[in-house]
Amino acid sequence: MTTATVPGLIAPGVLAPLDDRVVAEGELRVIGLDLSLTSTGVCLPDGSTYRIKTRGKDGDRRLVAIRDNIRAALAAHRPHLTVIEDLPKHAMAAGLTAKVHGPVLCELLDAGVPYARIVPATLKSYACDYGRADKAQMAAAAYLAAGAEFADDKGGDQCDAWWLRAAGHEAYGVPLFDLPPAQRKRLHVVAWPAGVRALCVTGVTR
């Protein structure tokens, strides 16, 4: 799959083909976002992934580029839910990543898209049954779960976004693949928004 380049961005990577990319009418549409000022991972409702890679020399203009890319993705794919990797607990000093959250949450609120936030330890526990799993272990778990592979993903941004989308499907009773019950229960600590399944059934999106 190819993705149009947004001005100020480096062209995103391309994910190897997966079996879960087709989203039928009426099915749950989830976007996963691993937000970062330098390399945001995005997983679209069809399972394809890419990075929003920005240039340091652009300074805070990078926030505009990321916002515009997310805005375009929301308009094109009209998700019922977006799942975001939250800042780690007790990591309030993560200022560079925190900067990105504000503009993206504004876009989600303006678009009327419900969202959930998952801290890294919970996402890793869901994917790997280990809250301190590294990037290689997360990628290996994605391959074992669904044969997923991610091109141009040294930092694991696309992989994390892919797992965030999977977590959204799991939370609303439409899992993309089987995982042990203990791992699936790790998502019970997440504050999932109400009414998402109703949006999916009625097809109502803004």
Each domain of the chain, given as residue ranges in start order, spans: 9-201
Give the Cα separation of 206 and 203 in Å (integer): 10
Q: In the structure, what pLDDT confidence band is assigned to residue 87 with cuts at 50, 70 and 90?
A: confident
User: pLDDT tens digits for 134-157?
Assistant: 999 999 999 999 999 999 999 999
Q: In the structure, what pLDDT confidence band is assigned to residue 91 with cuts at 50, 70 and 90?
A: low
User: pLDDT tens digits for 24-44?
Assistant: 456 899 999 999 999 999 999
DSSP 8: T
Q: Are 40 and 52 in contact (CB under 8 A)?
A: yes
Judged against a pLDDT cut of 80, whether residue 93 lies above it is answered with no
Q: In the structure, what pLDDT confidence band is assigned to residue 126 with cuts at 50, 70 and 90?
A: very high
Pairing of strands 115-118, 49-54: unpaired
Give the Cα separation of 38 and 10 in Å (integer): 11
Q: Both tokens of residue 88? A: 């780690």
Judged against a pLDDT cut of 90, whether residue 22 lies above it is answered with no
Judged against a pLDDT cut of 60, whether residue 81 lies above it is answered with yes
Q: In the structure, what pLDDT confidence band is assigned to residue 197 with cuts at 50, 70 and 90?
A: confident
**HSE of 71 in the Cβ direction (CA atoms, 13 Å)?**
11
Q: Both tokens of residue 126? A: 């869901």
Answer with the residue of higher pLDDT: 181 or 90. 181
107 burial level (CB within 10 Å; 0-12, 13-18, 19+): buried
Please state, rounded to an integer, the average pLDDT across all residues of the chain: 85
- The pTM of the full predicted model, rounded to 2 decimals, is 0.85
**Beta-bridge partner residues of 84:** 33, 117
Q: If one looks up domain 9-201 in CATH, what number appears?
A: 3.30.420.10
Q: In the structure, what pLDDT confidence band is assigned to residue 205 with cuts at 50, 70 and 90?
A: low
Give the Cα separation of 139 and 29 in Å (integer): 22
Give the Cα separation of 123 and 165 in Å (integer): 11
pLDDT average, residue stretch 119-128: 97
Give the Cα separation of 3 and 72 in Å (integer): 11
Give the Cα separation of 51 and 69 in Å (integer): 10
